[in-house]
Amino acid sequence: MKLFTASALTLLAAGAAYGQGIFNIVPHDDSTESLPLQYRLTAAIGYDDNVSPLTEELPDPDSLTDELGEQDALYSRVELGASFVSISPQTNFNLDANVNYTYYFDNIEGGDDGYVGTRVALNVAHSVSERLRLVSRNFVNYGLEPDYQYGSAQDRRNDEYLYLSTENAIGYKWTDRFATYSGVRYDTLDYDESNADRNNFTVFNQFRYIGSPQTVYTLDYRYRWADNKGARDSDNQYILLGVEHRLSANSVVIARAGAQLRDVDGGDDDTSPFFELGYRSRINEQFDIRAWARYGIEDYDTSVDGIQYDNSQTLRISLAANYMLSREVTFTGGINYINTSYEDGFSSFPLADTSDVDVDLINLYLGATYQFSECCSANITYNFTTSDSDSDSRDYDRNRIQVGLTYVF
């Protein structure tokens, strides 16, 4: 097996573990054939029983209950999307974009009645020669918190934000068995109002050695600078050993583990375990499954109830599946689990409680699509989120159900 064939397949299968997100953000990121430019228009109506789970409207500041801030509302949503895939022996080009608007029929306390969102994902891979390959992965999202599978959100905010990620790398095959994959990555999280903006710049190098046609061994070094508004900046080094193994023609697993060496400006140095795991399998033509996990210290969402924390030890586990019952009916489903331990808190107020906080969040989603013509389909989705925490503002349940129609042209 050629090294870059193995590299591309396994990298895509894991969803670029330190790239854009948990799973492939571009829907056709693993396509082997070109797809023409395609538009899709979706109109939907839904119900949300806890629109603003972090909004605290307290009649009595000393009375905290698990019901605070709960508001239910009907909403409508319209979305226009486009996708295009071009596959050639030298260059792969994959684009997916959409713009959407969500309107709540009821007045939302602590939030707006309507939200505009947009999302663009672009992946390009170009083989300059048999040895040299260029890869660019780019993602932009504006709106409320993305789905948990994108890897940046730990909880819901009422504040819209811009999330941008760009990763550009060079893969070079030095021998038949040895190659390197080196690049830079920049990502930013920019909120419209809140004091929680984040800027990260990462340089990385991966050594790759083919042990067999099915197995690639890896050694990673990454250096990440984090510029954190409202929190302390940090420098992070990652040293990871890994393996990428093709279990079968349609199944692949990636595992990396090692240490994260963290230096917080004005805070303590820390060394923490770090691992990431990706798995993808197409069981048959009808059923495919994806899984992903990561553990490490993150710089996103490091504030709880006005207290900033230097370290947020975070475990993320995600599982997703698609099942095509027939040509007309397709089921989707998945679960996301996020466990976060906020440690080393600090505040400008001397009497503030800076004790550690734990948050356990589970997000479950189910969906079904019925294709009643070549270009039209009906869909229904259900989304359940439960968050259990020492902090009352992070302790809530949320249910959402949505039905809609999609027209593809």
State the SS3 of 142-191: EECCCCHHHCCCCCCCCCCEEEEEEEEEEEEECCCCEEEEEEEEEEEEEE
User: How confident is the model at residue 277, as a pLDDT?
Assistant: 94
User: How confident is the model at residue 195, as a pLDDT?
Assistant: 66
Quote the CA–CA distance of 291 and 223 in Å, as a whole number: 26
User: How confident is the model at residue 3, as a pLDDT?
Assistant: 46
**In the chain, where are the structural domains located?**
3-408
- One digit per residue, the tens of pLDDT, for the chain of length 409 reads 444 444 444 443 333 444 445 454 455 556 678 899 999 999 999 999 988 766 544 344 344 444 445 788 999 999 999 999 999 999 999 999 999 999 999 877 767 788 899 999 999 999 999 999 999 999 998 987 656 766 566 666 666 788 899 999 999 999 999 999 999 999 988 877 666 778 899 999 999 999 999 999 999 999 999 888 767 889 999 999 999 999 998 999 999 999 999 998 887 788 999 999 999 999 999 999 999 999 999 877 777 777 778 778 999 999 999 999 999 999 999 999 999 988 877 776 777 777 788 899 999 999 999 999 999 999 999 999 999 988 877 888 999 999 999 999 9
Tokens in use for 258?
Answer: 């090692």
Strands 303-304, 307-324: pairing is: antiparallel
- pTM, entire model: 0.84
Q: Which residues contact 2 (CB under 8 A, 6 or more apart)?
A: none
In the 8-state DSSP scheme, what is residue 376?
E
In the 8-state DSSP scheme, what is residue 327?
S
Quote the CA–CA distance of 224 and 273 in Å, as a whole number: 16
User: How confident is the model at residue 155, as a pLDDT?
Assistant: 62
Tokens in use for 15?
Answer: 């969803």
What CATH number belongs to 3-408?
A: 2.40.160
